[in-house]
Amino acid sequence: MWRQLAAQFYAPDKPWVLANTIEYFILNEVEELTIYQVEELIKLLKKGCEASYIARYRDDIHGGLSPQRIRKIIEIYFEVLELNRRVESALRNVIPKVVGVGEKQEVRERLEYCQSVDEVSEIAREYGEGDGKSKAQIAREHGLEAPCRDVLNGKFVDMRKFTAHDQHFVHLAADIISKDENVKQAVIDMKFLLRRAECRAIELFGQNVERLFCQEGVHDKYVIALDPGSVIKAAFLDPEGNVVLKHEFYFSDESTFSRRAADKLKQWSQYTRDMGKCLVFAIGNGSNSRNTQVAVSKLIQSEQFPKEVDVAFCVVPEHGASKYSVSDAAVEEFGKNVDPKLISAASIGRRLIDPMSEYVKIDPENLGKGQYQHSTDSQLLQQKRVAVVRDRCSLNGTDLNLASKVLLSNISGLDATIAAEIVKYREKHGRFISRNELKRVPGIDAHVYQQCAGFLRVTRPDSSLLKKVPKNMEWNPLDETIIHPEDYTLATQLLKDVCLTVEDTKTLETILLDPDWYSSKELRIFKMLLNKQNLRPPPEMMAKVRNTNGLRVKEHFTGTVTNKTDFGIFVDIGVENDGFVHLSHFLPKVESENPKLTPQEFLKMIEELEVPSVGDQIEVVVERIDRKSHDDSIRISLQPMKKTR
């Protein structure tokens, strides 16, 4: 958590040694802030406030920055603290090794004005010898500079004379090359571009994972989840995601279920009919997915299911399901004796019912979202993963009485230990009556409560329970909203001013509020009372299978975006392969055929374009179909029905 990180880096015994302040570094990257706003944000970070809490409840300070921008500020904050720590260490360890007062001052200034940890490491390497001289300086004292420059200039040098100093020769050559202005600039440019590309890949990965967590679940339907393969593992789930039944199915031929498999599925559908619910097959998109879709489609088309049951199927991404099925978390949830394949099937089905609660169990690295993320710094990717998942779980919010331990541990202010205590409290005392009752859980002090309370909903308890609780633990209708407990008094008064109660918040939509009558904080309260989650629709429901053989150019489809990159988006249109929409279809028309854009301008332009994101459904038309006979592969080029710009 940020509080522990801040305590680690901002200990009193760590003086500020950099020439520039933290505010300087943040303002360089986040230009829309003022110096006052940055100073106030830094105060919140020192207190251990997290991005989601700051983004939603402290916009009085930052003026409405998105969670992504808040995360950027936090990343810079800790990067600069680490830079200061490294420079302070270098000043203690490197300066004493430097010979000469003038050179000491020069090295000190170079360190104090460093902009990155890489610069600090480079200076430290220059003075790696214990006697205060760089390795190149020692080589020069051995008289190696002239012959070394001759070698670098292509002249003949009898190297047998220098066999006793071969390593010194190498260090001196490296020093001469590294100090060449053209070489230095080339290395700087290369490092800068690689770092920028890596940061962009990690940022895009974070955006895609965040959108994945914003998908709406399928409600009030029973789900038969199928994990395809030579043997199909099946899990029958009720609308809440509980595993009712499980089984293994086989094919009688390539794309037809065996008689026993078909009978078992019809039996399960009868159970659905008796409960008066619809039925959805959630089919994983892994190996043999296509044949499984065809087999399910045959059953639907031949009317094998009860007429009273509305049956459809959809394809669900199964990335990471197999890895989760053999994890300790899966063993804790399902027990030691359950086949991992059946756990994988249950995970696929639950992704359809409650995407966020299920995806939070999967390492996002295994979700296959983004571009080149597997080639990036694994530590930076992990940090981005943790930050994005925590923010999205918090901002989506969850029911305090239903959330799993894993989901709770990803809520702002909480960790695995406190999440376990919450679950223990529920098991011992029953459901939480109110948000205020959280204060009774071990580990939840005033600060933790401040950070997490607004993201944990508590629905109205039964009237019988309300009679038994102390007055300070009573349920408040605002416990079901995203209003923070700190703002309950103000929210109640504002509703009273417009003659409404919390139950009447829908009526707020019809009331025109004069912004001149209310403060920015009061307007924010009204906005939160009207809060509507901007969730992406669930996967498309189908009854028939489409295939690439039947695709035609200019054919129209409604597709779902499965991945977004800086060069375009991948769209699932219900066939074996995702289609691809190139970024150029979303670019605005320009007067020049070759507009010159800097990398910063190009990235800013991409961010401003209305390019669909993961989970969005868009209308597309098939532009081109490329079939390659040598490996039976197919590439489908699509274009959007309407350009967004």
Ranked by mean pLDDT, the top range of 394-398, 547-551, 595-599 is 394-398
Same fold, 2-133 and 400-529: no
- Amino acid 175 reads D
Distances (CA, A) of 52 to 65, 102, 313: 11, 49, 36
Quick one: how far is CA 130 from the chain centroid?
45
* Torsion over CA: 39, 40, 46, 51 (sign): negative
CATH code assigned to 2-133: 1.10.10.650
CA 529 – CA 496 distance, rounded (Å): 13
Residues in contact with 25: Cβ distance below 8 Å, sequence separation at least 6, in sequence order: 76, 79, 80
Axis crossing angle, helix 67-93 with helix 117-126, rounded to the nearest 10: 20
Token digits for 509? 């939509």
Instruction: Give the pLDDT mean for 608-637.
Output: 82
Residue-level pLDDT at 321: 86
Task: Please give the average per-residue pLDDT across 20-35, as a whole number.
Answer: 93
The predicted-structure confidence for 559-613, as pLDDT tens digits, reads as follows: 889 899 888 999 988 887 889 999 888 887 655 555 666 666 766 676 667 788 8
Please measure the distance between the N-terminal and C-terminal CA atoms of the chain and give it in whole angstroms. Answer: 41
Q: How far is residue 114's CA from residue 20's CA, in Å, rounded to a whole number?
A: 9
Domain ranges for the chain = 2-133, 221-385, 400-529, 548-640
Position 131 confidence tier, pLDDT thresholds 50, 70, 90: low
113-117, 532-536, 580-584: the lowest-pLDDT one:
532-536
The model's confidence at residue 167, banded by pLDDT at 50, 70 and 90, is confident
Tens of pLDDT, residues 206-234: 888 888 888 889 988 999 999 998 889 99
Whether the predicted pLDDT of 4 surpasses 70: no
Judged by average pLDDT, the poorest of 129-133, 165-169, 445-449 is 129-133
Among the ranges given (13-27, 125-139, 151-165, 271-285), the one the predictor scored with the smallest mean pLDDT: 125-139
Sign of the CA dihedral running 115, 121, 122, 128 = positive
pLDDT digits (tens, 9 = 90+) for 338-371: 888 889 999 999 999 999 989 888 877 777 676 7
- What radius of gyration do the chain's Cα atoms show? 30
pLDDT category at 165 given cuts 50, 70, 90 is confident
Task: Check residue 548 and give its pLDDT.
Answer: 78
pLDDT of residue 629: 61
More reliable by pLDDT, 14 or 630: 14
Cα 26–28–30 angle (5° rounding)? Answer: 60
89 vs 406: CA distance, rounded Å: 38
State how far the Cα of 542 lies from the Cα of 505, in Å rounded to an integer. Answer: 36
Level-2 CATH architecture, domain 221-385 = 2-Layer Sandwich (3.30)
Note every long-range contact of 600-605, with CB atoms under 8 Å and residues 24 or more positions apart, other chains counting: 603/200, 603/566
Segment 303-327 shows an average pLDDT of 88
Pick the CATH number of 400-529 from 3.20.20.70, 2.60.40.1120, 1.10.150.310, 3.40.50.300: 1.10.150.310
pLDDT digits (tens, 9 = 90+) for 234-265: 999 999 899 999 999 888 888 899 999 999 99
Asked if the model's pLDDT at residue 444 lies above 60, the reply is yes
* Mean pLDDT of the chain, nearest integer: 85
Q: Which two tokens stand for residue 479?
A: 């416990």
Cβ distance 556 to 620 under 8 Å?
Answer: yes
Give the pLDDT confidence score for residue 9 in this predicted structure.
47
Q: What is the dihedral of CA 359, 361, 367, 372, to 10 degrees?
A: 120
Count of Cβ atoms closer than 10 Å to residue 145 Cβ: 15
Q: Which of 117-126, 405-414, 626-635 has the lowest mean pLDDT?
A: 626-635
Instruction: Check whether 644 has a pLDDT greater than 50.
Output: no
Residues 360/361/363/364 CA torsion (nearest 10 deg): -30
331-340, 368-377, 485-494: which range is least confident on average?
Answer: 368-377
Query: In this model, does residue 510 exceed pLDDT 70?
Result: no
Residue 603 has a CB neighbour count (10 Å cut-off) of 15
User: What's the full length of the chain, in residues?
Assistant: 645
- The predicted structure's pLDDT at residue 1: 46
Residue 417: strand, helix, or coil: helix
Class of domain 548-640: mainly beta
Average pLDDT over residues 69-84: 94
Phi and psi at residue 17, in whole multiples of 5°?
A: -115, -15
pLDDT of res. 37: 95
Report CA 600 to chain centroid distance, whole Å.
23
Which residues fall within 8 angstroms of residue 561, CB to CB, at 6 or more apart?
569, 570, 571, 572, 612, 613, 614, 615, 616, 617, 618
